[in-house]
Amino acid sequence: MTAKDGRTSLDDTSKAIIEQLQDDGRRSYADIGKAVGLSEAAVRQRVQKLIDGGVMQIVAVTDPLQLGFLRQAMIGIRVSGDTRAVADAVADIPAVDYVVLTAGSFDLLVEIVCEDDEKLLDILNEQIRSLDGVLSTETFVYLKLRKQLYNWGTR
């Protein structure tokens, strides 16, 4: 069910299922069912409906450093023209894992995960700064990640 503002309207049971999975994405449907008062099959159906509706994803969150991606950076991009077109072009770059259109000093914030500084420089110069509409960039190299959570719950 969709609310007037375009968001999916969730009942308390669906919210409880999401919170169970945010706590442990490998939790079995049977265990979730016990916690929320549904059968395993009913939980499975609801989870699939939440996934199909784009409400949630179930993915393995990895440590980029352990996988050989030694450089992470946030890039602020100032754009001339349609920010959506530039955002779409930037989102197509494989090393980009996050693109958000913003208000403020930058029109876009983009997160890059790549192997090293040389690769970051290549991405900046050959793939981002060369795009039509990109006026300027500012790169914020991550020195150490202190906190990254995905369990903000439901409201």
72 shares a domain with 21: no
DSSP for residue 37: T
96 shares a domain with 126: yes
Least confident of 46-55, 74-83, 142-151: 142-151
For residue 125, being part of any structural domain is answered with: yes
pLDDT above 80 for 131? yes
20 shares a domain with 47: yes
Range of the domain at 92: 64-141
Task: Specify the pLDDT at position 148.
Answer: 81
Task: Specify the pLDDT at position 4.
Answer: 54
Task: Specify the pLDDT at position 106.
Answer: 98
Give Cβ neighbours of residue 32 (< 8 Å, ≥ 6 apart): 17, 20, 21, 38, 43
CA gap 27, 125 in Å, rounded: 43
CB contact at 8 A, 22 and 57: no
| Domains: count for the chain | 2
Task: Specify the pLDDT at position 62.
Answer: 80
Number of C-alpha atoms within 13 angstroms, CB side, residue 105?
A: 5
Q: What is the CATH number of the domain that holds 40?
A: 1.10.10.10
For residue 155, being part of any structural domain is answered with: no
For residue 5, being part of any structural domain is answered with: no
pLDDT above 90 for 43? yes
pLDDT above 70 for 137? yes
68 shares a domain with 41: no
